[in-house]
Amino acid sequence: MKTSLETLEGLKRSLTVDVAIDMFNQKVEKSLKTMASQVSIDGFRKGKVPVSMVKQRFGDNAKSDAVNEIVNETLVEALTEVKLSPAARPTVTKVDSEGESEFSYTVEFEVFPTIEMADFSGLEIDQIEVDITKADEDRTLNGLQEQLTEYKAVKRKSKAGDRLALDFVGTIEGEKFEGGEANDFKLVLGKGTMIPGFEESVTDVAAGKTVELDVNFPDDYQATHLAGKPVKFSITVNEVGSPKLPKLDAEFAKKFGEDTMDKLLVSMKEQMRTEINGRIEQLNKDAIFGALAGANEFDVPQGSIDGEAQNLLAEMKERMQQQGQSAPDDMPATVFNDEAERRVKLGLMVSQIASDNNMVASMEQIDAKIAEMSQAYGENAQQMVDYYNEDVSRKSSVELMIVEKMVQDKILEAAKIKPVKKKFTDITEQG
């Protein structure tokens, strides 16, 4: 076997493999004999069809089978000979079976880039820190109160804090639109959950009144087909409900699984810290890898980008289906190319840093991480642990998390860290 490697544009490579023509001919003959024993042709009993007739009718199929067999048998050895590992499955682009002494095929593929990693000491990375204040705790407790707030119908005009029961119909150019109509819709005034102008139009309005509203959807409205468009709403206020906050006593605490208010406050503070730590961890991780990506420029295999973009499209469709929304059938995966390229690039860098520094997660570390993660499942914690233990391959995702954290710590050891103080609400009120 002989190999010939050619470097094409960027990460693309072309590899030609030559083998003896006898190898190809033997495989064609073998395929034809197999077909002759299986095919049925009028005038011949099954298994008795002459090979010459099978060759006449199915010769091209036999040649195709022979090519596939030779590629499968020789390609791995050929790639090893040229010391390359394709980023994705190679594509056969040329076959030459007409030579007197040699059969050849050519494959094209992309390789992973060689990354000259920038020195971590040159990275400047913001790392967020958050102190939870008494005001944050009071605000969270007020939120728990609001969850159990009762509303009593009153005969007065509405004001901030009231809960309204509304019927409304929205039209654009005289036509109703999806999501623009509701009956017995509950709206708490002052929450800012509707588009600008909506809450204002039903403030200082008594039950039984109908309000006509002309307003525009915001230019950055999440439903892009409605963004910036003028809309007319006809809104009827059916009920004005005045809020009655529950007392902060033992009965209140029991509604949240605790016996006393003291215990509830302790668990509430622990939950606040757990939640904020999780968000900070993700933001700080994004800052680390953002700095790393910005300091290292290299080509990424397009095949890897395409594959990751398909994964992102599938994830989006699954989320939409879970939320009861219709996933667009005509959305191309290419809309996710930028994010896909970012993910592939980070994956390659993390893999190289881990390899360069012999970072490997031990089974003890993996099991400890699973035990830590399971605590978020409460009474179902053991089921989560059992899920990973039933199939060891499931632990690979946890192993990746641990190695990724090792990489982060390695970068932070050398980089210039800038602590950034943030308020609790700065983090929790982000999208």
Query: How confident is the model at residue 312, as a pLDDT?
Result: 93
Residue 329 pLDDT greater than 80, yes or no = no
For all residues of the chain together, what is the average pLDDT? 91
Confidence of residue 42 (pLDDT cuts 50, 70, 90): low
CATH of span 2-110? 3.30.70.1050
SS3 20: strand
CATH of span 257-428? 1.10.4030.10
Residue 431 pLDDT greater than 70, yes or no = no
Query: How confident is the model at residue 361, as a pLDDT?
Result: 94
Confidence of residue 41 (pLDDT cuts 50, 70, 90): low
- 214 phi/psi in degrees, rounded to 5: -110, 120
- The whole-number average pLDDT for the span 82-87 is 94
- The whole-number average pLDDT for the span 130-148 is 95
Residue 327 pLDDT greater than 80, yes or no = no
Domain residue ranges of the chain, discontinuous segments joined by +: 2-110, 150-244, 257-428
Dist CA 370 CA 361 (whole Å): 13
Query: How confident is the model at residue 375, as a pLDDT?
Result: 84
Asked if 100 contacts 21 with a C-beta cutoff of 8 angstroms, the reply is yes
Q: For residue 68, what is the enclosing H or E element? A: helix 51-81
Asked if 54 contacts 36 with a C-beta cutoff of 8 angstroms, the reply is yes
Residue 54 pLDDT greater than 80, yes or no = no
Task: Give, in order, the Cα–Cα distances in Å from 315 to each of 109, 300, 311, 319.
Answer: 27, 22, 6, 6
- The whole-number average pLDDT for the span 214-242 is 92
Query: How confident is the model at residue 58, as a pLDDT?
Result: 75
List the beta bridge partners of residue 130. Answer: 422
- The whole-number average pLDDT for the span 80-107 is 94
Dist CA 363 CA 351 (whole Å): 19
Token output for 18: 């030559």
- Read off the DSSP letter of residue 113: P
- 331 phi/psi in degrees, rounded to 5: -75, 125
Dist CA 285 CA 408 (whole Å): 7
Choose between 325 and 165: higher pLDDT: 165
Token output for 23: 């190898």
Residue 235 pLDDT greater than 70, yes or no = yes
pTM for the whole structure: 0.75
Query: How confident is the model at residue 53, as a pLDDT?
Result: 67
Query: How confident is the model at residue 309, as a pLDDT?
Result: 94
Burial class (CB in 10 A: 0-12, 13-18, 19+), 158: buried
pLDDT single digits (tens) 283-317: 999 999 999 999 999 999 999 999 999 999 999 88
Asked if 170 contacts 180 with a C-beta cutoff of 8 angstroms, the reply is yes
Confidence of residue 185 (pLDDT cuts 50, 70, 90): very high
pLDDT single digits (tens) 373-426: 888 887 888 999 999 999 888 999 999 999 999 999 999 999 999 999 999 999
How many other CB atoms are found less than 10 A from the CB of residue 236?
Answer: 17
Token output for 340: 């896909």
Residue 151 pLDDT greater than 60, yes or no = yes
Confidence of residue 355 (pLDDT cuts 50, 70, 90): very high
Domain 150-244 has CATH 3.30.450.40: no
